Amino acid sequence: MNAGQAGGVMRILVVEDEPKMRSLLRRALAEEGHAVDVAADGEQALALTEVAAFDAVVLDVMLPGTDGFEVCARLRRRGLWTPVLMLTARDAVADRVRGLDGGADDYLTKPFELDELLARLRVLARRGPAPRPTVLQAGDLRLDPATRQVWRGTVEIALTSKEYALLEALLRHPGTVLTRDMLIEHCWDLASRSHSNVIEVHIRALRDKIDRPFGTAAIQTVRGAGYRLRRDGGTPLQEAR
């Protein structure tokens, strides 16, 4: 069974500055029945994504000028969620983490087998494009999971690890009521769950940092149910209900 039969024919953008590798990838993917466009650098790749829709991007990290990390980050900032498979000669954990945190969907280290690349592309094609924001945001409240930084507008806010975990859980589900048990499950280990008011204490501390100094009320208490983060990130306290 070829890639076209297993995952459907795709239109793929290959971004690779090394001519022989670029030609090899183009030929191998075309032989599998895919439509393949190529770019030799990051700026060319970004230009192509503005005029054509791709089902997947094979993106080399080590590009002249704008590197693969920056290309991927700029695609995501534009709201383009085409699956990205990053290629690199580097095998450092920090590079893999940087690529994935920057919005890449998968990572393949050179040298690699073409069969593995094709298999990974089939998996990405089955997933399809899906919004996965690299920075969580509600109104002017932002959280970056990669750097563990939090801002209200342009002001950076220092949080404890538990306050951060609570805020991240709420920001991943804005407008949704999260029960006390759901928050405990996400943020605490078993040994810490015996403290009956642990959620209330940390929610109060979190409000003291992200809401009250800014005259907002992002975190709402839903009586008998749990807590909810407003989708707009909070309104002036006198307007909050």
Query: Cis (ω within 30 of 0) for the bond into 111?
Result: yes
DSSP code of residue 83:
-
Number of residues in the chain: 241
Residue 204: the pLDDT is: 95
Token pair in block for residue 191: 């040994």
Q: Structural domains in the chain?
A: 3-127 (3.40.50.2300), 136-239 (1.10.10.10)
Q: Are strands 178-179 and 136-138 parallel, antiparallel or unpaired?
A: unpaired
Q: How confident is the model at residue 88, as a pLDDT?
A: 85
- Cα(110)–Cα(116) distance, rounded to whole angstroms? 11
* 11-15 and 178-179 strand pairing: unpaired
Residues of the chain with pLDDT under 50: 1-7, 238-241
Q: How far apart are CA 187 and CA 167, in angstroms?
A: 10
Q: What distance in Å separates the CA atoms of residue 23 and residue 31, rounded to the nearest whole number?
A: 12
pTM: 0.59
